[in-house]
């Protein structure tokens, strides 16, 4: 018990100990900002992996660690698309995942945002044109925000997500 | 190696019909075997006490347009000497049938189904010929790795339904999970049959994320395909790129400078550290012990940021190249790494002590998800999962690559095969990696960091390469084609072998423990689905 408390005390607060502002924030169109403004300070995200290499997932996971601590901005991960305000999609859409992605999108209540995370989700990256890949996310569902990078750094993802909700009324 | 030639002779005496070819890489022998003899000779290799061959890789290759044949290759690792034995056979002309070895070597199960899907070759006598990679909606007759299948074909859709194994009886429920899961994890489908609480059966349905990686390799040249290898499984960027580069270097007869070898080991260990730290945290998180998760997540983040400072990529992407490494880590930087690790080690030891002193946590970890040694052997399980179940294998020690010939590795080995053993293996390997990096800093020689490739490969040459990534053995088979292109590249992430074993590890456990067991295996879906 004392050991745990001592550990926590000696470590202190690590949140925010990362390099900020590497790349300029992703531009967000005003309509999307307006839509995002609805979610105020609570923003539930469902992550859908449609064929990524899992580095994008790792960075999403990193977002939840104490260093980035996305929860402090009201961003949390919903267990089901039905509880989500936004879908974050990673990876090119493979032939096998196409249906699952469309289903998840249908199950997410309106109004919703779709965020394409990583180069694969935006333009298929290295997997463009392959028989097993049907195309980028926007071929199947409308995409509101694109966060480029392979994989994007957690700092960039966080930056983009806060940029998104800056216009909140 | 006298031992190796001895085993070659024994094989030749036992099976006079086989013919020995030149070995494709170090510490290996290659035999051409008549097709009908395959079951007998594989059985012999697998069961003979002085061989105890573990099926390590099984792949097929379409040799057209050069010859009108399909090649089948079986790679066995002899457990005692770590020698490789490759058996190959050819299906000539319109022959599409080959004898299945699954009935007596269980580890071949998925490989043979994969070959059937990708090449349309049929393993006769295979107990389960359902589709594996191609989901049922793929049109009939699509076999992507055949040479006459265009890589950019647009697939149609047909009606079809996957038939899961079915258990019936009073009170038996089916619980389907996935492909999209509750956490931030990859896509895969699990189907549990439960009666009351305990799991009676688990069936996996994977390959949702099949991206056609092996076909994409064939569209590239040997040198240019490296970024693709880095993206087979993002968390194992170094492992995959290193395995790929080693194969290409053998084909190009390219020597890698010693300093680069050391730096490659350094990158591999950094990758192991960050992933093991993350895994330990995630396993604790699945038992709702958020404190350890937070601490491990913090330490993992420090390593990721260190990677970023060293190479400009948090996943060490682009750090390795064919012929060496892309950037030097000078001695000042090496000291910085060691100092950072010196800070992390006591920090981790403390967290480890907190974890293992926690009785309620131990209660969740112990005797959960036991993978017995026998099951592990039957499935040829290796890597972290194997070492927790008594499989004494680690390529860094058994078949040293990079700088491991000068950096002896102490292999962590446990026998219980439960979640706790897998946690302990990871914990031990974290300390071992830190020790290795320290030792490495003392030994690293000065010199160039890369050699330029000078010659081009002979079409039809092929080789194998193996790397002990943080999950386990990563294998690459690369066959050169015309004009420096790739004719065939077989990628095998350890996940492909270890996934089926999880179906046995969960039996008798309750579904709420499944996430924990799954996390303790922590296998890659992307590396499995390719
Ligand atoms: S964008 Fe890059 S990191 Fe993300 S899934 Fe694609 S290849 Fe992987």
Alpha carbon distance, N-terminus to C-terminus of chain B: 36
pLDDT at A21 over 70: no
- For the CA of A90, the closest atom of ligand 1 is 5
Compute how many other C-beta atoms are within 10 angstroms of the C-beta atom of residue B237.
Answer: 27
- Taking CA atoms only, the protein residue closest to ligand 1 atom 6 is A120
Cβ B515 vs Cβ B502: under 8 Å: no
Residue with tokens 């990673």, as numbered in its chain = A90
Q: Do B186 and A53 touch (CB under 8 A)?
A: no
For the stretch B172-176, contacts whose Cβ atoms lie closer than 8 Å and that sit 24 or more positions apart, written own/partner, are B172/B200, B175/B511
| Backbone φ, ψ for residue A76 (5° rounding) | -140, 165
Bridge partners (DSSP) listed for residue B31:
B20, B87
**Pairs across A and B, CB distance < 8 A:** 159
Q: Among B393, B380, B401, which residue's Cα sits nearest to residue B465?
A: B401
Q: Among B345, B334, B215, B228, which residue's Cα sits nearest to residue B277?
A: B345
pLDDT score for B1: 41
pLDDT score for A27: 73
Q: How far is the CA of B323 from the centre of ligand 1 (A)?
A: 25
Q: How far is the CA of B221 from the centre of ligand 1 (A)?
A: 21
pLDDT score for B272: 92
Q: Domains (ranges, CATH) in chain A?
A: 25-164 (3.40.50.12280)
Q: Say if ligand 1 is within 6 A of residue A108 CB.
A: no
**Euclidean distance between CA atoms B390 and B421, whole angstroms:** 10
Q: Say if ligand 1 is within 6 A of residue A125 CB.
A: yes
Kindly state the tokens that stand for B261: 């070898």
pLDDT score for B474: 92
Q: What is chain B's pLDDT, residue by residue, as a tens digit (530 residues)?
A: 445 567 788 888 888 778 888 888 888 888 888 888 888 889 988 888 888 888 999 999 888 888 888 999 999 998 888 888 899 898 888 888 889 999 988 899 999 999 999 998 999 888 888 888 888 888 888 898 888 888 888 888 888 888 888 888 888 888 888 788 888 888 889 998 998 888 888 998 889 999 989 999 998 888 888 999 999 998 899 999 999 999 999 888 888 888 899 999 999 999 999 999 999 999 888 888 888 888 888 899 989 988 988 888 889 888 898 888 888 888 888 888 899 899 889 888 988 888 888 888 888 888 888 899 899 999 999 889 999 998 888 888 888 888 888 888 888 889 888 999 999 999 999 999 999 998 988 888 888 888 888 878 888 888 999 999 999 999 999 998 888 888 989 999 999 999 999 999 998 888 888 889 998 988 889 889 88
Q: Domains (ranges, CATH) in chain B?
A: 4-124 (3.30.460.80), 213-529 (1.10.645.10)
Mutational test site, ligand 1, from A97, A119, A126, max ligand atoms within 8 Å of CB: A119
Compute how many other C-beta atoms are within 10 angstroms of the C-beta atom of residue B355.
Answer: 23
**Euclidean distance between CA atoms B86 and B106, whole angstroms:** 18
Q: How far is the CA of B362 from the centre of ligand 1 (A)?
A: 36
Residues of B in Cβ contact (< 8 Å) with A61 = 184, 278
Residue B56: which H helix or E strand, with range? strand B53-62
The pairing of strands A86-90 and A113-117 is parallel
Kindly state the tokens that stand for A135: 């195309």
Bridge partners (DSSP) listed for residue A88:
A47, A115
Cβ B446 vs Cβ B279: under 8 Å: no
Candidates B159, B211, B310: best to mutate against A (most CBs of A within 10 A) is B211
pLDDT at A169 over 60: no
**Euclidean distance between CA atoms A48 and B209, whole angstroms:** 12
Alpha carbon of B298: minimum distance to chain A alpha carbons (Å): 6
Local confidence band at A125 (pLDDT 50, 70, 90 cut-offs)? confident
The rounded Cα B345 to chain-centroid distance in angstroms is 28
- Taking CA atoms only, the protein residue closest to ligand 1 atom 5 is A52
Q: Say if ligand 1 is within 6 A of residue A119 CB.
A: yes
Q: Say if ligand 1 is within 6 A of residue A150 CB.
A: yes
Kindly state the tokens that stand for B306: 């260190």
Kindly state the tokens that stand for A110: 């309106």
Q: Which residues contact B422 (CB under 8 A, 6 or more apart)?
A: B283, B384, B385, B388, B520, B521
Local confidence band at A24 (pLDDT 50, 70, 90 cut-offs)? low
CA distances from A33 to A44, A70, B36, B366, B525 (A): 16, 19, 67, 49, 34
Residue with tokens 């002979």, as numbered in its chain = B458
More confident residue, A56 or A166: A56
Q: Classify B87 in phi/psi space as left (phi over 0), alpha (psi -120 to 50) or beta.
A: beta
Residues of B in Cβ contact (< 8 Å) with A59 = 314
Mutational test site, ligand 1, from A53, A89, A156, max ligand atoms within 8 Å of CB: A53
Bridge partners (DSSP) listed for residue B78:
B53
């Amino acid at each position: 018990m004392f050991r745990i408390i001592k550990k926590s005390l000696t470590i202190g607060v690590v949140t925010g100990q990362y390099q900020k502002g590497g790349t300029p924030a992703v531009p967000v169109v005003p309509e999307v900002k307006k839509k995002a403004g609805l979610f105020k300070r609570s923003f539930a995200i469902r992550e859908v992996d449609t064929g990524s290499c899992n580095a994008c997932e790792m960075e999403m996971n990193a977002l939840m660690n104490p260093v980035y601590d996305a929860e402090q901005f009201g961003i949390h991960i919903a267990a089901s698309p039905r509880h989500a305000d936004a879908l974050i999609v990673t990876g090119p859409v493979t032939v096998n995942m196409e249906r699952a992605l469309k289903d998840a999108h249908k199950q997410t209540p309106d109004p919703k945002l779709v965020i394409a995370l990583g180069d694969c989700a935006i333009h298929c990256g290295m997997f463009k044109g392959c028989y097993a890949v049907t195309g980028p996310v926007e071929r199947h569902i409308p995409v509101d925000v694109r966060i480029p990078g392979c994989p994007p750094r957690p700092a960039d993802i966080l930056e983009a997500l806060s940029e998104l909700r800056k216009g909140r009324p | 190696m006298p031992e190796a030639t001895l085993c070659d002779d024994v094989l030749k005496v036992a099976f006079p019909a086989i013919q020995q070819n030149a070995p494709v890489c170090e510490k290996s022998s290659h035999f051409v075997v008549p097709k009908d003899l395959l079951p007998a000779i594989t059985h012999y290799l697998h069961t003979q006490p002085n061989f105890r061959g573990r099926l390590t890789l099984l792949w097929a290759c379409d040799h057209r347009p050069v010859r009108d044949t399909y090649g089948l290759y079986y790679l066995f690792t002899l457990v005692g000497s770590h020698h490789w034995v490759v058996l190959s056979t050819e299906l000539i002309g319109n022959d599409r049938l080959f004898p299945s070895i699954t009935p007596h070597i269980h580890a071949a199960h998925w490989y043979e189904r994969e070959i059937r899907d990708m090449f349309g070759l049929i393993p006769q006598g295979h107990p389960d010929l359902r589709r594996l990679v191609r989901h049922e909606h793929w049109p009939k007759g699509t076999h992507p790795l055949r040479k006459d299948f265009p890589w950019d074909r647009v697939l149609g859709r047909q009606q079809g339904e996957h038939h899961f194994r079915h258990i019936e009886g009073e009170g038996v429920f089916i619980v389907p999970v996935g492909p999209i899961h509750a956490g931030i994890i990859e896509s895969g489908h699990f189907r549990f049959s439960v009666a009351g609480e305990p799991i009676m059966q688990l069936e996996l349905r994977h390959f949702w994320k099949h991206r056609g990686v092996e076909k994409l390799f064939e569209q590239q040249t040997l040198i240019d395909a490296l970024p693709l290898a880095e993206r087979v499984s993002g968390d194992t960027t170094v492992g995959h790129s290193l395995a790929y580069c080693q194969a290409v270097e053998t084909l190009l007869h390219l020597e890698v400078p010693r300093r680069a070898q050391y730096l490659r080991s350094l990158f591999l260990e950094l990758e192991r550290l960050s992933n093991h730290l993350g895994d330990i945290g995630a396993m604790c998180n699945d038992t709702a012990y958020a404190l350890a998760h937070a601490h491990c997540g913090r330490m993992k983040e420090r390593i990721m940021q260190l990677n970023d400072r060293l190479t400009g990529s948090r996943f060490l992407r682009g750090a390795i190249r064919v012929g060496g490494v892309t950037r030097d880590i000078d001695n000042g930087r090496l000291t910085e790494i060691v100092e950072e690790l010196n800070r992390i080690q006591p920090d981790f030891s403390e967290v480890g002590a907190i974890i293992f002193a926690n009785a309620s946590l131990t209660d969740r970890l112990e005797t959960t998800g036991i993978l017995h040694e026998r099951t592990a052997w039957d499935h040829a399980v290796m890597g972290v999962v194997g070492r927790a179940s008594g499989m004494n294998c680690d390529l860094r020690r058994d078949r040293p690559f990079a700088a491991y010939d000068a950096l002896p590795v102490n292999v962590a080995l446990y026998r219980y095969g439960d979640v706790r053993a897998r946690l302990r293996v990871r914990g031990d390997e974290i300390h071992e990696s830190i020790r290795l990096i320290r030792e490495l800093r003392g030994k690293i020689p000065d010199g160039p960091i890369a050699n330029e490739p000078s010659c081009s490969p002979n079409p039809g040459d092929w080789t194998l390469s193996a790397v002990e990534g943080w999950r386990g053995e990563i294998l690459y088979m690369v066959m050169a084609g015309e004009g420096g292109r790739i004719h065939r590249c077989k990628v095998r992430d350890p996940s492909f072998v270890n996934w089926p074993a999880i179906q046995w590890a969960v039996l008798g456990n309750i579904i709420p423990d499944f996430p924990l067991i799954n996390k303790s295996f922590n296998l890659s879906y992307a590396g499995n689905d390719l």
